[in-house]
């Protein structure tokens, strides 16, 4: 019996080549390197550019992205790291709070791909980080690139503030 099939969207295209910031927590260096390789390959395949910064741990990824969004001109961000379950509840805190922080940033309008692995052991992590297996770094970059493409598509289509004239006066006669 075959396993489930997974669908991936085709790579997006861009009117202007985007620039992304990869933010990685390299606590497990081999896993981080695999995630980075996948993210860089996906970004390059779309004709985009990227920079890379490292932070101490997964909890520092959302604040680093928030600072970059305030102080730099990146079109999107890729969050990479690995959290392996240990013997304490610290795992749950780090998993939940790093994901919550990234989600809040995304809901505020940032294009973010979440490639922070949350796994039980090193073997699971490597299967997800390896570009020849699940390539979750490439998947996180692809997610950010798709969101950037949407932002470029919708740029300049803002709704404005206040009442739209056609809602006040549908006939456009000037009557209210």
Q: How far apart are CA 131 and CA 47, in angstroms?
A: 19
Instruction: Dump pLDDT digits (tens) for 135-152.
Output: 999 999 999 999 999 999
Inside any domain, residue 7: no
Identify the CATH number of the domain in which residue 84 sits.
3.40.50.960
pLDDT in tens, 4-38: 888 999 999 998 999 999 999 999 999 999 999 99
pTM of the model: 0.88
DSSP letter assigned to residue 143: H
User: Per-residue pLDDT tens for 76-123?
Assistant: 999 999 999 999 999 999 999 999 999 999 999 999 999 999 999 999
Q: Is residue 12 a part of any domain in this protein?
A: no
User: Other CB atoms closer than 10 Å to residue 131's CB: what's the count?
Assistant: 17
Burial of 54 (0-12, 13-18, 19+ CB in 10 A): middle
Q: What is the number of alpha carbons within 13 Å of residue 88 lying toward its C-beta? A: 3
- Whole-number Å distance between alpha carbons of 63 and 57: 11
> Cα separation of 124 and 127, whole Å?
5
For residue 52, which of 22, 20, 95 has the smallest C-alpha distance?
22
Structural domains counted in the chain = 1
Domain with 73, as residue range(s), is 19-168
Per the domain annotation, does 9 fall within a domain? no
95 inside domain: yes
Annotated active-site positions, please? 90
Q: Is 176 inside any structural domain?
A: no
**Is 8 domain-assigned?**
no
Is 174 inside any structural domain? no
Residue 140 lies in a domain: yes
């Amino acid at each position: 019996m075959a396993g489930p099939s997974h669908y991936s969207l085709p790579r997006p295209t861009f009117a202007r080549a985007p620039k992304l910031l990869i933010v990685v927590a390299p606590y497990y260096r081999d896993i981080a390197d695999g995630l980075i390789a996948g993210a860089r390959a996906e970004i390059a395949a779309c004709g985009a550019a990227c920079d890379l910064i490292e932070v101490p741990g997964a909890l520092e990824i959302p604040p680093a992205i928030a600072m970059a969004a305030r102080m730099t001109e990146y079109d999107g961000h890729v969050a990479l790291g690995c959290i392996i379950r240990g013997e304490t509840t610290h795992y749950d805190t780090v998993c939940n709070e790093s994901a919550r922080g990234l989600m809040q940033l995304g809901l505020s309008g940032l294009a973010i791909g979440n490639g922070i692995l949350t796994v039980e052991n090193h073997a699971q992590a490597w299967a997800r980080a390896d570009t020849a297996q699940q390539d979750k770094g490439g998947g996180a970059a692809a997610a950010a690139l798709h969101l950037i493409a949407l932002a470029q598509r919708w740029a300049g289509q803002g709704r404005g503030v206040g009442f739209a004239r056609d809602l006040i006066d549908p006939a456009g006669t000037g009557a209210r």
